[in-house]
Structure 1
Amino acid sequence: MKHPKIFAAQLGCAKNQVDAEHLLAELYSVGFVSAPSAEKADYLLVNTCGFIEAAKEESINAVLSFVEIKKPAQKLIVSGCLSGRYKEELPKEMPEVDYWLGTYEPGKILQVLGLGEKSSGTENIKRLNLGDFPHHAYLKIAEGCDRRCAFCAIPNIRGKQVSFSIESIVQEAKELEAQGVKELTLIAQDTTFYGHEQGVRGPTLTKLLKAILAETKIPWIRTLYWYPQFIDDELLELMANEPRLCKYIDMPIQHANDKILKLMRRHYTQKSLREMLFKMREKIPGVTLRTTVLVGFPGETQEDFEELMQLIQDVRFEHLGGFVFSPEEGTPALQLTETPVPEDQARARLDAINDVQEEISSEATEAFIGKEVKVLIDEVAEESDYHFIGRTEGNSLDSDDIVKIVEGDATPGEFYWVKILDAEPHELTGKIVRAV
């Protein structure tokens, strides 16, 4: 029996990566195998992103590159956010694509390819981990989003939030642990809203975390994408008291000015935001805070921007990512009558934030010099003047700082105590002291 070969290109965020892992797991369950290259594949798969303009362009270019090399006998499948967002337009513009899937639905790819009924038996398919490192995996706990932030197209693409059951998530976590995962990163559009769409009897993020802690021995469990409105003391206390929960909070605040927050439809104020951020610092000693901000939103004045700058300087986030407002079709922001911010002015504001954050990050990393910290080794540093690359619990994979190991031997996927010798704004340098 000939096993069809598939070659996949994955674009976009970690949530999209998990979707790609499920798509390929379904195909592998019916006999597909991975092709070493696009040229040797029977099927080509592009899992696209459609969040902002730059991501859309990248996805379209990826599909077109596959169209150019596609042989007559090969079949091209396009899935993901871009194909879901433009499901009417894209098939007309790219007739060379054989199958359009949209965002992930269990069993849909098997149904479209004529290999099974939708949702039939997919719950028994083992979880696939396609990340760069076998000791780390992302686990998606919900689909969609109930937030209708004015700048965001995600609810239009992925619909309202649907939280997965605690039982199914725990089962997936156990499968990943059996595969050797040492760090599990829980993701959703809004992890702190987990279960809230089901009302007061629904599950909560705290209950989910307790279940994963009880049913697995995974050393590091991290959660991303908190929303300020749905964080309670029970969740903070669990993080403070449970050593296997990384003391790391990724909470995109977007802005600090009340007028801009209201225009963004963020449903909180600067006062409540400050109270929450400082409560996190108080309740979780040593917590690492990461955030994302959006500048240049319609109506943002220099004074509004200065309020955001002041909050950043007061809170001193260890990690911060910034973006310039990008008008996205179908979002409420396009209906605003407020004065647009010129792009050059918005970019100057982002540059100013980045300059301030560079100083804050430098101060944060320099505080580690001379200390011993627990580090998870990710990989061997090939062709470098250091030996290994790792991370502390205060650094999320793909987005935060790294630890360069210049002395000592280590095994990727294992934990070590590392003495920090030097620091730069976004990296630490250290030597192995001993295994954990």
Structure 2
Amino acid sequence: MLRQVSALFFEQCLTTCYVRLNLSTPLMTWHPHIYSVWSPFYIKPTVKKKKKIPLFCLFLSHLIPGTQKIWMKTWGCSHNNSDGEYMAGQLAASGYKMTDDPTQADLWLLNSCTVKSPAEDHFRNSIKKAQEQQKKVVVAGCVPQAQPRMDYLKGLSIIGVQQIDRVVEVVDEAVKGHSVRLLGQKKDGGRRLGGARLDLPKIRKNPLIEIISINTGCLNACTYCKTKHARGDLASYPIEELVERARQSFQEGVCEIWLTSEDTGAYGRDIGTDLPTLLWKLVEEIPEGAMLRLGMTNPPYILEHLEEMAKILNHPRVYAFLHVPVQSASDSVLMDMKREYCIDDFKRVVDFLRDRVPGVTIATDIICGFPGETDADFQETVELVKDYRFPSLFINQFYPRPGTPAAKMEQVPAHVKKQRTKELSQLFHSYNPYDHKIGERQHVLVTEESFDAQYYVAHNKFYEQVLVPKRAEFKGMMIEVDIYEAGKHFLKGRPVEDSKPFTPSIAAPLQKGEVSGLIEVSAHTNTHSICTFCSQITNTGSVT
């Protein structure tokens, strides 16, 4: 609808130029590619003699915002991925074409992550590559939000992490060759808000999975963390807005919801509520067979809600899965990190949930080589992994992030950091957490395709990855399988012959690349841009 409206308006603008400039070239013989983009009724004319084409027509599609192809790359966490989905949705709803081919794109939108130095290196290299290919560039995410004055960001347009609802404005201006930087915080009566509206258009990377950010920022001040500089202090979305977003998602065929934030356990402390209250409200909206996955939570805040969290994780429509980063098993190191808990607090969380939620999956993170970490400190972490044998463990070598207190501390030698990372990785790979699952019969929800495209990826109640045969009828279904093989990071399931797949979705899923949340479409500022452009041309009275 938007394209047709824009096409008709565009034809009127071109006709105005044609009449006011007294152009001798008939409108229909202007550059066919330009005209066909805008006219749904276009039929290529037969041209016997080559006509002189006004130069501004040849470049029209590159000058008018809303006609370009955009390639977007996102690094980092699920919160960042959610932001990327919202930005893609708004751009597509405004007429831009999202492409998976960076070489075909007119503009690159780079959505960055500041957690680790390698991620920022990839981001910086992508900017350089885009500029070498003479692509227009807009940057977003935590890197430019935290460090907008970096030399390699000079002259680039920036979308702040709380300004993603204005991505179209920024891209429009970048297309015109202008540099715009929107880095402000959203507030209501002086109170900081969670961010942009949750009902904005979006393009889900996976039409079956909705990622919902429940809050932004956190209450901690970890000495190694750069994300805090970008996302700031805790700001939570109201429960009713989150419930409505979940409800809309299910109406669009979603069968799995991920809740994300920098610390889900801290949710609601700034608005007088808490995480369990939100979760019970969301559970009421989840259709039978659909599932909810809770994101990362730090130990201090989940400690207060262990009883309720155990009940929620036992709910049949909630994955028995929790990501609780420990970072180190040394209290001395945790103190230097300013993590605000001791190792006994972490163990209490894990022990309680393992006791009350049989089979629960606890994922955790560990940093190797934090400044001041001694061999004895590291051995405490090794013993923790030996004792708990975490099935999902993210091992990270410490990288000092500019501007953080940890970057100013005395660093552990690089070779020591590498050796500790290697040792802990070898320990993690020395045990197989899923061997005891072979022979079990499980219900799994199929939502994705494996990286090698040989299987569909499903998850069981404990959010363990189960590979199943790639049959079209399984996608988006809850199916019953017999586990016949176990790897380090996966299980393989054979569908039970007499079991029928169950459809958890209450509506047909959107197609891949389809925009979510488009109830009604209104004209975008493209029409204004076109009108302004044509007005400028007709006022000058000359075209070459």
> TM-score, structure 2 length as denominator?
0.70
Q: Who is 2:223 aligned against?
A: 150
Q: Who is 1:217 aligned against?
A: 287
1:192 CA drift (Å): 0.3
1:161 CA drift (Å): 1.4
* More displaced 10-residue stretch of structure 1: 17-26 or 251-260: 17-26
Does 2:415 correspond to 1:347? no
Residue 418 of structure 2 aligns with an amino acid whose one-letter code is R
1:409 CA drift (Å): 7.6
* More displaced 10-residue stretch of structure 1: 102-111 or 266-275: 102-111
Residues in 1 aligned to 2:343 and 2:198: alpha-carbon distance in whole angstroms? 46
Q: Who is 1:103 aligned against?
A: 161
Residues in 1 aligned to 2:214 and 2:131: alpha-carbon distance in whole angstroms? 34
Residues in 2 aligned to 1:290 and 1:39: alpha-carbon distance in whole angstroms? 38
Q: 1:124 to 1:321 in 2, by over 3 A?
A: closer
Residues in 1 aligned to 2:367 and 2:124: alpha-carbon distance in whole angstroms? 25
Conserved? CA contact 2:138–2:171, under 8 Å: no
CA-to-partner distance for each residue in 1:119-139, whole Å, 9 max, x for gaps?
8xx7485442432x3212211
- Residues 36-435 of structure 1 mapped to structure 2, 5 A cutoff: 37-70=101-134, 75-90=136-151, 94-95=154-155, 97=156, 99-112=157-170, 123=197, 125-131=199-205, 133-198=206-271, 202-217=272-287, 219-231=290-302, 232-336=305-409, 339-360=410-431, 362=432, 364-379=433-448, 387-395=455-463, 402-405=465-468, 410-433=473-496, 434=499, 435=501
Residue 220 of structure 1 aligns with an amino acid whose one-letter code is M
1:10 CA drift (Å): 2.0
Residues in 2 aligned to 1:310 and 1:261: alpha-carbon distance in whole angstroms? 16
Q: 1:101 to 1:420 in 2, by over 3 A?
A: same
* More displaced 10-residue stretch of structure 1: 32-41 or 346-355: 32-41
1:288 CA drift (Å): 0.7
Q: 1:426 to 1:237 in 2, by over 3 A?
A: closer
Q: Who is 1:8 aligned against?
A: 72
Identity of aligned residues (%): 26
1:240 CA drift (Å): 4.0
1:276 CA drift (Å): 1.9
1:109 CA drift (Å): 2.5
* More displaced 10-residue stretch of structure 1: 102-111 or 229-238: 102-111
Conserved? CA contact 2:86–2:201, under 8 Å: yes
- SS of the residue corresponding to residue 111 of structure 2 reads strand
1:429 CA drift (Å): 1.9
- SS of the residue corresponding to residue 107 of structure 1 reads helix
Residues in 2 aligned to 1:175 and 1:245: alpha-carbon distance in whole angstroms? 18
Residues in 1 aligned to 2:469 and 2:407: alpha-carbon distance in whole angstroms? 51
Residue 411 of structure 2 aligns with an amino acid whose one-letter code is P
> TM-score, structure 1 length as denominator?
0.87
Residues in 2 aligned to 1:407 and 1:176: alpha-carbon distance in whole angstroms? 25
Q: Larger C-alpha radius of gyration, 1 or 2? A: 2
Residues in 2 aligned to 1:282 and 1:144: alpha-carbon distance in whole angstroms? 31
Residue 184 of structure 1 aligns with an amino acid whose one-letter code is I
Q: 1:90 to 1:405 in 2, by over 3 A?
A: same
Conserved? CA contact 2:306–2:353, under 8 Å: no
**Larger RCO, structures 1/2 (Cα 8 Å, 6+ apart):** 2
Q: 1:4 to 1:174 in 2, by over 3 A?
A: farther
- SS of the residue corresponding to residue 362 of structure 2 reads strand
1:56 CA drift (Å): 0.7
Residues in 1 aligned to 2:388 and 2:198: alpha-carbon distance in whole angstroms? 45
Conserved? CA contact 2:466–2:491, under 8 Å: yes
Residues in 2 aligned to 1:417 and 1:180: alpha-carbon distance in whole angstroms? 21
Q: Structure 2: where are the runs of 5+ without partners?
A: 1-5, 7-37, 39-65, 174-181, 187-195, 503-544
Residues in 1 aligned to 2:344 and 2:103: alpha-carbon distance in whole angstroms? 57
1:94 CA drift (Å): 4.6
Q: 1:323 to 1:128 in 2, by over 3 A?
A: same
Q: Structure 1: where are the runs of 5+ without partners?
A: 396-400
1:417 CA drift (Å): 1.2
1:36 CA drift (Å): 5.7
Conserved? CA contact 1:56–1:82, under 8 Å: yes
Does 2:85 correspond to 1:21? yes
Conserved? CA contact 2:393–2:428, under 8 Å: yes
Conserved? CA contact 2:286–2:317, under 8 Å: no
Q: 1:55 to 1:94 in 2, by over 3 A?
A: same
Residue 380 of structure 2 aligns with an amino acid whose one-letter code is E
Residues in 2 aligned to 1:184 and 1:285: alpha-carbon distance in whole angstroms? 22
1:31 CA drift (Å): 3.5
Residues in 1 aligned to 2:353 and 2:447: alpha-carbon distance in whole angstroms? 28
Residue 349 of structure 2 aligns with an amino acid whose one-letter code is M
Residues in 1 aligned to 2:151 and 2:210: alpha-carbon distance in whole angstroms? 32
1:290 CA drift (Å): 0.5
1:214 CA drift (Å): 1.5
Residues in 2 aligned to 1:314 and 1:402: alpha-carbon distance in whole angstroms? 23
